[in-house]
Structure 1
C-alpha cells in the first residue's frame, strides 16, 4: 500500500523508527553532556575531613549525654568524638565500642587530658554542682569547654569559670541549645523583622513532675548536686530563651514568689516552684514560672506584640517544638520552621568553629554568668516575699 507521497507503509514505519532512534540518541547525548558536570545551585555545607575536625571529650555519661549528645556527633560537620570521661569503665567500654572511641579517662586521672593531643574541646555533662570544678580543670589543661546549663551553682563559681577561660586563653561556652534550634531562631527572626509589631510582653512556663522514683530526678532534688532549685534546671530555659528575644535590652529589676506544696518530702532541699517577673528597660515585662510540680512535662513560650503573637508549645524540647502565629491579618497557623533535633549538632559545630577561629561563641560564659546573677536575684526576691531586686543587667 502506497501513501500520497509514493511511500510504502513499510518505508513510513522505517522512517518513523529512525526518527525515534535519532531523537533517543540525541537525548542520550544531551544527558551525557549534562552528566559531565553542572554548577551546583544553592549553598551547600559539606562535612570537613575527619582529620580537620575539632576533637571532643564528653565528661559525664548520664542520660542526657548518652541519649542526646553522643549520638549527634554522627550529624556533625566540624566535630568528632574522641574521648570519654566517666567513673564507669563498663559504660566507657560499651559506648566506646558503639561509637569508635578508645580514649578513656576517669575522674581521678582527669587532669591527664592536658597531655592528650586528641582532645581539643570538652563537653561538661555532669550535675550542676560539679560544673565549676571540671570546667576549670579542663581550661587549665588547655582545652576549650562547652558546659551544660546552668553553668554553675552560683554567680561566684561562674565568675571563676570565666576568669579561668581568660587566663587560659580558651573558649568557654554554655550549652544553651535553644539558640541553635530552628523554630526558636525563626521566632527571633520574625520579632526582629517586625512581624509581631512592637513586642509588648513575654510569658514563659516550664516544668515537670519531679520524683524520687526516677534516678535522673534524684540529684535535681539535692541542692548540692542540683546547684539550687527548679530555676537551675528547668526554669532557666524560659529565662534564657526570653532574653534571647530581647537583644540589647536591660533587666532593670526582678521579683518572685515561691509556690511549693506544703509537707511534700520531695522539697526538703529545693523549692517546688517559683513564679518570677523581669522588668526590662524597654518597658517589656517577662513573666514566667519554673516548677518541679507540673504534669506532664510543660514547655511554653509566648510572645505578644502590637500586631501579632507567636506561641511555642512545646518550646524548648529536644524534638517536638512548633510555632503558632496569630494575627498580622492572617489566619492562625501552626508550623515548624525546621527539625528541632538539628539543634545539638548545630550547637557543637558552632562551638568548634568559634574555638578554632578564636572568636566568641554565640552563648559564651559571660551569658551564663548573667543568667546566674538573675537566678540568684529571683531567689533573693522570693526569699523576701516578692520584694523587687534591682539588677541592671544588660542582655
Structure 2
C-alpha cells in the first residue's frame, strides 16, 4: 500500500528535496501538487509523474477526495496553521515543515484539529530518521561521555536576496529557519525541556537583506539538570553546521551535523582516545516520508508529533523575546517521554534526479 501525498507549496524545498525524496521511497507517492503557479507545477508534475495540479482555491475539494491520504506543507511559516487545520478536519494526515507555526495558539489549534479528527500531525524533523543524529543520542544514553553538561552549535550560511525567509510577515529569520535545528538537538541530547532562555541578535544596517529580520542570533538555554546549550544561527556568515556536546567524561562532535546535502560525521573523545564514524549519506526526505507513511499504515503515532513542534516553538518564542528585551525568559513545557530511537532510522540512497528552478 502506497500512502498518497499532496505537496502544498511548490517552492525550493519541495523541488530540491521532498519530491525527489518521495521518488526514492518504497511506500509513498505524490499524487497532487497544490500551488498558485500552475506553469511551474506543470513542469514539476511532468518530471515527477504527478497526476494532479490544484490551485489553492481548489485545496478543500482535493482534501474531500480520495486522491490523497496525507499532505506535506512546505509554505511560508505563517501559512502552516490554516492549511494544516483544513487538512486534518478533512481526515488527512499532515506533515508540516518547521517551525510548526508562528505562535502557540496556532500550534495548539493544529494539534487539536488532528486529535479531534483522529489523524496524525508530524513536524518535519528529518534528522530524527538520520543515522548520525540518532547515534549521538545512543552514545549519550549509553554513557559514552558521562553526563552531558554543555551543548555548543553553529548553523550558518549566506541567505540569498529575495527569499521569503527574510520576510518578517512570514516570521522569517535565522532563528526560526536554522536555529530550530539547534534547539531540537539540544532538547533531545539533554532529554529535557529548557526552562530559561537568554539571547542577543545582530542586524547590520549596511546589508539590504536584513531590513526585516536579524542576520544572526546567539542564544543560551538552561535545562533543569543544569545543562547549558549555546548556539548561533545566522543568515549572514559562512556555511557551517555542527554541534559539540561536552560531558563529565568526554565529548562528541557531529560535523557536518544538520544539512541534508552532506553526510554526518561523528567524533568521540574520551580518556585520551579519539574515534571517528563517517555515516552514509542518506536521502533525509525519503527517510522522513517513509517513516511517516510507516506510522500511518501501522496506526502508530509519529515521535515528532505536533507536541514536539510546539516544544521547539515555545523555545524559539522565548529566545526571540529575550533578544528583543534583553531579559531572560522562562519556558514552560512538559517533559516528553519520546525521543528519536534507532528503529526510526531509514537509510534510502540519495538521488540526483531533481528539477529545481
1:195-236 Cα deviation digits (max 9, x unpaired): 112211111211222232xx4xx21111112x2432111111
Q: Answer yes or no: is the 8 Å Cα contact 2:164–2:172 preserved in 1.
A: no
Q: 1:311 — aligned with what?
A: 253
Shift of 1:73: 1.6
What SS does structure 2 have at the residue aligned with 1:190? helix
Contact 1:204 1:239 in 2 (8 A): no
Task: Note if 1:233 corresponds to 2:177.
Answer: yes
- Whether the aligned pair in 2 keeps the contact of 1:324 and 1:334 (CA below 8 Å) is yes
In the alignment, does 2:201 pair up with 1:258? yes
Higher relative contact order (CA 8 A, sep 6+): 2
Match of residue 60 from structure 2: 111
State the 4+ residue runs in structure 1 displaced beyond 4 angstroms: none
Match of 1:66 in 2: 15
2: CA distance between counterparts of 1:328 and 1:314? 20
Query: Which position in structure 1 is the counterpart of 2:168?
Result: 223
> C-alpha displacement at 1:144, in angstroms?
0.5
User: 1:368 deviation in Å?
Assistant: 0.7
Q: CA deviation at 1:263?
A: 4.4
> Aligned partners of 2:261 and 2:206: how far apart in 1?
35
Residues 299 and 316 in structure 1, CA contact (< 8 A), matched pair in contact too: yes
CA–CA separation in structure 2 for the residues paired with 1:366 and 1:63: 26
Please give the alpha-carbon distance, in whole angstroms, between the structure 2 residues aligned to 1:192 and 1:302: 16
**Partners of 1:67 and 1:268 in 2: how far apart?**
27
- Match of 1:389? 329
Residues 324 and 332, structure 1, Cα contact 8 Å, conserved in 2? no
Question: Can you list the C-alpha shifts for 1:134-170, whole angstroms capped at 9, x where unaligned?
Answer: 1112112221000001111222211111111122221
Match of 1:92 in 2: 41
1:108 match: secondary structure:
helix
Distance in structure 2 (CA, Å) of the matches to 1:273 and 1:157: 26
Q: Superposition pairs for residues 331-342 of structure 1, below 5 Å?
A: 331-339=273-281, 341-342=282-283
Q: In structure 2, do the counterparts of structure 1 residues 165 and 186 end up closer, same or farther at CA, with 3 Å as the change threshold?
A: same
Residue 312 (structure 2) aligned to one of 371, 384, 388:
371
- Equivalent pairs, count: 335
Q: Distance in 2 between matches of 1:383 and 1:87?
A: 35
CA distance in 2, matches of 1:351, 1:300: 26
Moved more, 321-330 or 130-139: 321-330
Residue pair 1:222, 1:270 contacting (<8 A) in 2 also: yes
Which residue, out of 212, 225, 249, partners 1:282?
A: 225
Cα deviations across residues 316-335 of structure 1 (Å, max 9, x unaligned)?
11132333424224643433
**How far 1:303 sits from its partner (Å)?**
0.9
What residue is the counterpart of 1:141 in the other structure? Answer: 90
**Are the aligned partners of 2:5 and 2:70 in contact in 1 as well (CA < 8 Å)?**
yes
Is this contact kept in 2: 1:77–1:349, CA < 8 A? Answer: yes
Following superposition, the deviation at residue 302 of structure 1 comes to 0.7
Matched, 1:352 2:352: no
Q: TM-score, normalised by structure 2?
A: 0.89
- Give how far 1:348 is off: 0.8
- 1:272 maps to 2:221: no
Cα RMSD for the two superposed structures = 1.7
User: 1:125 matched to which residue of 2?
Assistant: 74
Q: What aligned pairs does 1:192-203 form with structure 2 within 5 A after superposition?
A: 192-203=141-152
* 1:185 Cα offset (Å): 1.1
Aligned counterparts of 1:102 and 1:228: Cα–Cα separation in 2: 32
CA contact (8 A) 2:196 2:223 kept: yes
When normalised by structure 1's length, the TM-score is 0.81
